[in-house]
Amino acid sequence: MKIIEQRRELNKRIKRAKVIFLMAHKDLDLDALGSCVGLSLILKQRKKDCYIIIDDKKHELGVEKILRELDGCIPVIRGEDIDKYLYPNNKRNLLIVLDTNKTELVQNQDILKKIDTKVIIDHHDLGKTTIKDALIINDDEVSSTCEMITELTEFYDVELDPYYATVLLSGIVLDTNNFTLKTSAETYYAAYYLANLGASAKKVQYLLKQDVEEYTERQKLLTGIETINKKIALTKASPYTIYRREDLAKVADTLLFFNNIEASFVIGKLGKDTVGISARSLGNFNITRILEKLGGGGDDYNGAARFENTTISKVEQELKKAIAKEEGE
């Protein structure tokens, strides 16, 4: 795994740092939060001052549960307060970005300008907006960032409490959609390793539990499914309903369970003037090329794009054009 191969470069930066900040993508999910929590434990064992930056005002249920249960146990700060924690010599500050490599997706873009030394630990494809001035530890063959951090905790023989092992396992389960996507022998081994440390499958399912009203709202997206070339599923939401990014992603995951479907695209409003696309693939259809044409990105299995000041209909038209071009129609 690349994180082990690049551990020496990672170690150099960690050893030199006096204060280390961890930051993941906006709209935290269990993989983003889990990897931050897991890495904070590694850094704590190495006696480093470490803070997790979270600016999200709303959280999905699993993330909210973890943050509530770990309140006071993990060092969480807001980006606007970072000046209080920065070490006077900026060269001794380190920022580690997890579960994303894109500038526009991080919790707080201003932090990228405030800290010179940066490391990226991620499993998504690199792109035009990848953070440039950083040590990039990127492995797009692994299931999740939590799998990468699990590998690191085993390598350094970090003592993980069963609860923290469960948090890491929940990130793996989420990003593999219950071990149905992007799952390798190493992924199963990571799950086995965490289970041996006491990770609870029952607790993972508790963290993945969904709100009934939100689930019902997502189901509405399954009523107008359109198929393209009998292998691509596409659906769009009502222009009068605003969804969270993870809601669109969950619907995209669901669409892959239908017969013959190799890729899925879900379009919906993420805000008053913002439209998003969430895409999924079984790995046989290149969703990344399509999304990059629309200003988004992803990897062989997951992808997304975001549009400002437009409509769902216009985004749908552009998406269909990009698919048609990719399919050679």
Write out pLDDT tens, residues 256-293.
Answer: 989 999 999 999 999 888 999 999 998 888 898 899 88
pLDDT at residue 220, rounded to an integer = 83
CA separation for the pair 148, 155 (Å, rounded): 11
Average pLDDT for 40-63:
94
pLDDT at residue 329, rounded to an integer = 57
Average pLDDT for 295-314:
88
In the chain, where the domains are located: 2-207, 212-326
CA separation for the pair 166, 37 (Å, rounded): 11
Question: Is the per-residue pLDDT at 60 higher than 90?
Answer: no
The CATH class of the 212-326 domain is: alpha beta
Beta partners for 267? 236, 277
256 and 240 Cβ atoms separated by less than 8 Å:
no
User: Which CATH code fits 2-207?
Assistant: 3.90.1640.10
Tell me the pairing of strands 274-281 and 297-298: unpaired
Average pLDDT for 193-202:
96
Average pLDDT for 70-90:
95
pLDDT at residue 216, rounded to an integer = 82
Helix H or strand E segment including 269? strand 263-271
pLDDT at residue 46, rounded to an integer = 93
Write out pLDDT tens, residues 148-191.
Answer: 999 999 999 998 999 999 999 999 999 998 998 889 999 999 99
CA separation for the pair 172, 71 (Å, rounded): 22
pLDDT at residue 23, rounded to an integer = 98
Average pLDDT for 18-34:
96
Question: Is the per-residue pLDDT at 328 higher than 80?
Answer: no
- 270: its two tokens: 């993420």
215 vs 98 pLDDT, higher one = 98
Sheet hosting strand 49-53, strand order edge to edge: 76-77, 49-53, 19-23, 93-98, 117-122, 135-138
